[in-house]
Structure 1
Amino acid sequence: MTQAWNRWGQLIPLTVIEIQDCQVIQVKTPEREGFAALQLGAGWQKRKRLNKSAVRHFESRALPLKRYLREFKVTEDALLPVGTSITAAHFVPGQSVDVQGVTKGHGFQGVMKRWGFAGGNATHGNTKAHRTPGSMGGAAGSLFATRVFPGKKMPGRMGNNRRTAMGLTVYKVDRAHNLIYVKGSVPGVKGGHVRVVDTRHTRKKWAKNPLAPGPPPFPTFLPEDVTDATPDVMMMPEPEEDPLRN
């Protein structure tokens, strides 16, 4: 993560996401597959790390080998030809996105680290029960409820789950280096891969941003759209009033 300051002295935490050589690999249409979707590939991969069918999947389309493949459902009018590049200019500052990734794995942990339990007493007769969960209340006052209820917070594997950070705001787009800066944190470790889509949340404060300069390019930003007036770096407009005084 990194950070930025606006002119009102407000600290903005940012996460930098790099779009590594993202291209359309396969187009799925309602006539053939029954739905409209785009299969995108990103990153770089060695030939020896892919099986023959995966290599044939790329070489039959005259595309370089990719490390990641993800499918995105779209409308029929948003389908793009195979080989089209998806760059950071696909996004605009001010729009809201959902970022999906796999959280950090912490291995097998106890209840104090995994769930924030207080633990037992440090002294006063406590013996080998400093970090135990204590009584689980399995009986719960019933003669027939002598069991562990589903969902009980217990020791176990922590992290390594797929999670989605919803409604993150795109603060900055660096078209020259293919980077997007989003407000807040995203799931996963440093250097991990994430899936970025337009937000599906319906709250007005997330879906409609008054500071957004305009709708994103549809279906995407193409190389022929570049003009002399196209900036390499686009920033989210700053608020006219001091947000710390409201």
Structure 2
Amino acid sequence: MKLSRSGVIAKKIGMSQIYKENGEAVPVTIIRVEENVVLSIKNKAKHGYNAVQVASFDQKPQRLNRSIKGLFEKANVAPKAKIKEFIVAEKYLLEVGCKIGVDHFKKGQCVDITGTSIGKGYAGAMKRHNFRGLEASHGVSISHRSAGSTGQRQDPGRTFKGKKMAGRMGGKVVTTQNIEVVDIDQELNLLVVKGAVPGNKQGYIYIRDAIKKALSY
């Protein structure tokens, strides 16, 4: 894994679209990046790896337990709702109390965004795995949306693990890679990226430099 700069904690606001000069509509996601504060750092000599722990989005002190309150008091940082640790290269280690904003990213660069996908509950094979379903006629009755056969014959006489079947869909940590930053609004702390990102509206997401793309600055 390529180690790079620290990422940021953000919130997904929702989706919209912008128009190019030729009239083409481009789907975009609006993301709010409030000020991220460095809560603590870890170095290879003491902890075995280099990392930066950041916190963001103000929180009432009474909603935090004593151990978490102690972290903020030690760093002299106001209580925050979300804490996230990013593994970084040694040259990108920051000082405790350092602030990271939306200007951490540049227009035109690519980022990787991690979030928890929208939970769909228990779903069938057609919705969950895009199965085509059974025939609409020719003797098929009632079971048009069933998965069909899932096993073999007497040998091996069982269904293999990992077989695509009905089950719980969504609600998993998903990372979407190489998402282009279309625009940045520093006054409103908004980041506009091309396409969709995982998660619900107002859900927390984590953004960092794309590991498969080199920084151009």
Shorter-chain TM-score tier: 0.7 to 0.9
Identity among equivalent pairs (%) = 38
- Runs (4+) of structure 1 exceeding 6 A deviation are none
Q: In the TM superposition, what are the counterparts of 1:62-77 in structure 2 within 5 Å?
A: 62-77=76-91
Q: Are the aligned partners of 1:138 and 1:149 in contact in 2 as well (CA < 8 Å)? A: no
Counterpart selection for 1:188 from 199, 204, 217: 199
In 2, distance between residues paired with 1:94 and 1:154?
40
Q: Over residues 97-155 of structure 1, what are the superposed CA-to-partner deviations in whole Å (9 max), with x where a residue is unaligned?
A: 1111111100111112112223334556544323222222422xxx4211001221111
Residue in 1 that maps onto 2:143: 129
In 1, distance between residues paired with 2:125 and 2:91?
50
Residue in 2 that maps onto 1:111: 125
Q: CA deviation at 1:169?
A: 0.8
In 2, distance between residues paired with 1:118 and 1:30?
51
Q: CA deviation at 1:44?
A: 2.0
Residue in 1 that maps onto 2:62: 48
Higher relative contact order structure (alpha carbons within 8 Å, sequence separation ≥ 6): 2
Runs of 5+ consecutive residues of structure 2 not aligned to the other structure = 1-14
Q: CA deviation at 1:207?
A: 4.1
Counterpart selection for 1:157 from 168, 184, 188: 168
Residue in 2 that maps onto 1:221: none
Residue in 1 that maps onto 2:18: 4
Q: Are the aligned partners of 2:177 and 2:210 in contact in 1 as well (CA < 8 Å)? A: yes
Q: In the TM superposition, what are the counterparts of 1:1-246 in structure 2 within 5 Å?
A: 1-122=15-136, 125-139=139-153, 143-201=154-212, 206-207=213-214, 215=217
In 2, distance between residues paired with 1:135 and 1:78?
53
SS at match of 1:53: helix
- Which one has a bigger Cα radius of gyration? 1
Q: What amino acid maps onto 1:110 in structure 2?
A: G
Q: Are the aligned partners of 2:118 and 2:200 in contact in 1 as well (CA < 8 Å)? A: yes
Q: Are the aligned partners of 2:125 and 2:131 in contact in 1 as well (CA < 8 Å)? A: yes
RMSD over aligned Cα atoms: 1.8
Q: Over residues 14-49 of structure 1, what are the superposed CA-to-partner deviations in whole Å (9 max), with x where a residue is unaligned?
A: 111111231111011222212221101111222232
Aligned length: 203
